Amino acid sequence: MDLRPAAVRVLLEHLERLPGVGPRTARGLAEHLLTADPTEVAGLAAALHQLHDRVHLCSICSSLTESEPCPVCADPERDRGTILVVETPTTVWSVENTRQYDGLYHVLLGHLSPLRGVGPEDLTIDDLVERCRVDEVGEVILATDPTVEGETTALYIARRLESLPVEVSRPASGIPVGGEIAAADQLTLAQALQSRRKV
């Protein structure tokens, strides 16, 4: 007999659909929400409701924003000749936090994955090519994830940009600081060797 109230069952179903949230984590979150101060729960509900009301994708770069265009695309001080291509909007936040990049962005909204039915038409690759064709872009940095799908996506985009006067580059990647070479996977180790620099 399932003694959980219907409202709790519905909440658990929604929580378990979230990435990285299994039944155990969902139960813990539900218990917290049920015992938390009602104002805290109301604040969370309001924040979730505002996500779709206020946040949308920038019409130029597809990053998350409340303004149109996003603050980066609207900033005349940014280097408009460089576009950093990433898979997800939240990656833009991570790059901005480094304070080492002052160009523009382009979010693909995923990566190529034929096994999952994700093709070029499902991503914003055509929009990127058009930006490079129309705008004065000199360099495109393909910062897709260092996975098989990410590498495949980067290679596909590089081929699409071959006919345009645009330099295509890839961020150096490899073994993280403090990591052990023996613990690195084959792809990471191969990239570390390919991206080696003289000392």
The answer to whether 149 touches 155, Cβ cutoff 8 Å, is no
Distances (CA, A) of 82 to 75, 115, 143: 14, 32, 12
The answer to whether 86 touches 107, Cβ cutoff 8 Å, is yes
- Structure confidence at residue 193 (pLDDT): 67
Both tokens assigned to 181: 């070479």
In CATH terms, the fold of domain 64-169 is Dna Topoisomerase Vi A Subunit; Chain: A, domain 2 (3.40.1360)
Burial of 188 (0-12, 13-18, 19+ CB in 10 A): middle
**Cα gap 23→14, rounded to integer Å:** 11
Average of per-residue pLDDT across 156-175: 90
Q: Which CATH number fits domain 6-51: 3.30.70.1150, 3.30.300.30, 3.40.109.10, 1.10.8.420?
A: 1.10.8.420
Nearest to 161 by CA among 122, 115, 126: 126
- Structure confidence at residue 186 (pLDDT): 74
Q: What is the pLDDT of residues 25-64, one digit of tens each?
A: 999 999 999 999 999 999 999 999 998 889 999 999 999 9
- Structure confidence at residue 89 (pLDDT): 95
Average pLDDT over all residues of the chain: 90
Q: What is the pLDDT of residues 101-140, one digit of tens each?
A: 999 999 999 999 999 999 999 999 999 999 999 988 999 9
Q: What is the pLDDT of residues 64-98, one digit of tens each?
A: 999 999 999 999 999 999 999 999 999 999 999 88
Domain boundaries, the chain: 6-51, 64-169
Of the chain, the percentage scoring pLDDT greater than 70 comes to: 93
* Greater pLDDT, 4 or 121: 121
